[in-house]
Amino acid sequence: MRYFGKITLALVVMTAALYTAGCPERTSIADIEANPSRYQNKDVVIAGTVRDSYGISIPGTRYGGGAYKLDDGTGSIWVITNDSVPAKGTQIGIKGTIGTGVNWKGRNYGLGIYEKDRRLNKR
């Protein structure tokens, strides 16, 4: 029985190590703005509060998305999404790819991030 306990413990530790190694580290917006070429076309994780948002959704179709400004206290960055746009004041964390000269539907947002995944802060 002790043998199964040791194997189970080893599997749990290895799984936890692999899970944490696969998660990108949270990056501050100030770091991204200070050196955008370092993060260009790379996945980053940032968290903050939505300060401004613009979105569109056409009911009955797959067309939707928008842009919102995310502020983490060190700076702010525009986030481009193909999903629904969060409301102002929402606390969220996102994972996405940094791009310079982000253009979306004819509007240029400068330095921005293309959203891949979003996590809402549960209260």
Q: How would you write the pLDDT of the chain (123 residues) with one tens digit per residue? A: 577 777 777 777 666 655 555 556 788 999 998 888 888 888 999 999 999 999 887 777 777 789 999 999 999 999 999 888 999 999 999 999 998 776 667 776 678 899 999 988 755
How many angstroms separate the CA atoms of 80 and 112, rounded?
Answer: 7
DSSP-derived letter for residue 111 is S
For the domain covering 25-120, report its CATH number.
Answer: 2.40.50.140
Q: Which two tokens stand for residue 123?
A: 């209260």
Name the one residue in this structure whose structure tokens are 């960055």: 77
Question: What pLDDT score was predicted for residue 3?
Answer: 72
DSSP-derived letter for residue 115 is E
Domain limits of the chain? 25-120
How many angstroms separate the CA atoms of 123 and 114, rounded?
Answer: 26
Q: Are strands 64-71 and 103-104 parallel, antiparallel or unpaired?
A: unpaired
Is residue 100 a contact partner of residue 120, using CB atoms and an 8 Å limit? no
Is residue 24 a contact partner of residue 45, using CB atoms and an 8 Å limit? yes
